[in-house]
Amino acid sequence: MKKLNYLIVLCLLTFITGCHSVYTTHPIGNPPLKISAEKWDGTWINNDGSIVLKVTDPEKGHLIAALIENKNDDLKLEKFDIELRGTNNFIFINFKAKNKKENVLYVWGKIKKKEREIIIWGPNVEKFRELVKKGKLPGKIKNKDVYLDTLKDEHLKFITSEENALLFDLNNPGVFFRLTK
């Protein structure tokens, strides 16, 4: 369950990419993706456990994810806000998280949804770190984590181009299958 919680907190993306992550202060992608409860609501499982997804605002691509975590022989409900956005035939999943200073940050990745399957790829932290160091993407690096500044359309086009597919960890996707509606 620990690995699943990592996944949901968008440390799915952290567990997929390693110890560090790529954060933003705003959801990545434009515009919000219109979604339907019929296609997203339900219980989704993977090898590490299950999550429940519920659409909260279909016009803005907002969902809530919930899971039960077993901590120290006590069950705890964990909930996470998710926002889906599309750019150039590409769908971004953005998980809202708070850092220690209570600032809102987003952990994000690429998502592909099929009828009964969701696949999520986290950003390749090393590749994004290099792009920020070279000034190709706006942001800063702190303790090996990457904090992207607001991305312009040209940055999103760069990230979503086929030539830059390796910006995502394609070898370690998070895969979920729909169990119930």
Domain range list for the chain: 2-180
CA distance 117 to 92: 16
pLDDT at 59 > cutoff 90:
yes
pTM to 2 decimals? 0.85
Half-sphere exposure of 74 (CA within 13 A, CB side): 3
- The number of CA neighbours under 13 Å toward the Cβ of 163 is 3
| CA-based nearest residue to 172, from 50, 61, 18 | 18
Q: Which two structure tokens, joined as six digits, stand for 117?
A: 């399957």
How far apart (Å, rounded) are the C-alpha atoms in residues 131 and 114? 31
Q: In the chain, pLDDT over 70 holds for what percent of residues?
A: 87
Q: Count Cβ atoms within 10 A of the Cβ of residue 77 and give its class: 0-12 exposed, 13-18 middle, 19 or more buried.
A: exposed
pLDDT above 80: residue 128: yes
Q: Is the pLDDT at 5 greater than 50, yes or no? A: no
Q: What is the pLDDT of residue 104?
A: 83
Q: What is the DSSP letter of 69?
A: E
- 89 — pLDDT class (breaks 50, 70, 90): confident
Nearest to 36, CA basis, from 9, 6, 57: 57
Mean pLDDT of 65-74: 83
**Nearest alpha carbon to residue 31 among 70, 97, 86:** 86
CB atoms within 10 A of CB 175: 13
Closest to 129 measured CA to CA, from 51, 23, 4, 39? 23
Q: Which of the four pLDDT bands, split at 50, 70 and 90, describes residue 49?
A: confident
